[in-house]
Amino acid sequence: MGFLADALARVQPSATIAVTNKARELKAAGRDVIGLGAGEPDFDTPDNIKTAAIAAINDGKTKYTAVDGIPELKAAIAEKFQRENGLTYATNQITVGTGGKQVLYNALIATLNPGDEVIIPTPYWVSYPDMVLLAGGEPVIVEADKSTFKITPEALDAAITSRTKWLIFNSPSNPSGAAYTEAELKALTDVLSKHPQVWIMTDDMYEHLVYDDFKFTTPAQVEPSLYERTLTVNGVSKAYAMTGWRIGYAGGPADLIKAMAKVQSQSTSNPCSIAQWAAVEALSGPQDFIPRNNEVFKDRRDLVVSMLNQANGITCPVPEGAFYVFPSCAGTIGKTAPSGKVIEGDADFVTELLETEGVAVVHGSAFGLGPNFRISYATSTEALEEACTRIQRFCGNLK
């Protein structure tokens, strides 16, 4: 269609949303489908957070707010950064957006010029490269070690050029669940310290979802000299089971935060006022439900990893965090599915799995690394057991 912008030809629709929509369509048509594509907790938003939102409605806090967040939420975010990450931000260094995705996008729109490069390690969240492209930049993909899903300092250093403006860093990772230890992160920040033109956009959305006594750290915390060129992004969606409330936030240099607010003022303006007051309670209220939820997630992770490693042709490492596993289906490549289709890659694997067994997962190539697939274990244990049983059966029937 000639009317549409040429820029749209550079990007692809979100693969994770596409899988979720496909699963919904099949369910609506009467198919028995287990959807493991969505990256959101199955837990309900805690009652104290819902109560705070209801109180905000009853108190008439339903008007426009400051473009990038109410003062009370910015103060709660600043306190969270100090309390949990040892990072000090003034309120003019805090921005609030309609989800973490908008915060990331605002930063890219506010900073990228044609030809600017953004380093993105694999496997990456599906939206990173496309947001860079929409903002006029050039994604530079750095492939991770396929056994750890982490990049090496040497690979990072080799990818940096005079045109590099950002590194987008995500730990724990969507889609792999891999998380960098403090020592591993320090090795990367040592590289970045040598390249003063490179800024760090760290997506810490899964900060609280770590297991087995893993200690989370963030780049500006590990290397304070990078503080002035780091945008630390987070949100309430995952740990607080608030995906639909759409509140993301970031701390960073005041000039960058001001520029991001300028972008937001001409797009969505302020995030939902009610959701902002709910986020104040989320960050400032009781946090004891998070470790309880994490115990459930850990049990589900261990179940899924164990069952997938019993499936023919599947190898599934144990992730440190988030609520995803990213198993390899390399052992199924070249085999024939019950439909007669030869599996030539991870896209074929997930398509045939959905058609044959009614299990919806996301192909790894959508995240820049294959042959793998992503499973979200943020669903009921019963659904996970049944889904993994179906995956075992599917793999067992490959010829």
* pLDDT tens digits for range 176-188: 999 999 999 999 9
Give tens-digit pLDDT for 247-280: 999 999 999 999 999 999 999 999 999 999 999 9
Q: Are strands 362-363 and 164-170 parallel, antiparallel or unpaired?
A: unpaired
Residues 383 and 195: their CA atoms lie apart, in Å, by 47
Q: Answer yes or no: are the C-beta atoms of 186 and 171 closer than 8 Å.
A: no
Q: What angle do CA 399, 361, 176 make, to 5 degrees?
A: 105
Q: Is the pTM of this model over 0.85?
A: yes
Instruction: Tell me what pLDDT residue 98 has.
Output: 98
Give tens-digit pLDDT for 98-124: 999 999 999 999 999 999 999 999 999
pLDDT class of 11 with cuts at 50, 70, 90: confident
Percent of the chain past pLDDT 70, that is, above it, reads: 100
DSSP label at residue 3:
T
Is the pLDDT at 16 greater than 80, yes or no? no
Q: Are strands 117-121 and 94-97 parallel, antiparallel or unpaired?
A: unpaired
pLDDT class of 1 with cuts at 50, 70, 90: low
Q: What angle do CA 185, 189, 191 make, to 5 degrees?
A: 120
Q: Which residues contact 185 (CB under 8 A, 6 or more apart)?
A: 171, 217, 219, 222
Per DSSP, the three-state class of 354 is: helix
Q: What is the mean pLDDT of the chain?
A: 96
Is the pLDDT at 82 greater than 80, yes or no? yes
Instruction: Tell me what pLDDT residue 27 has.
Output: 83
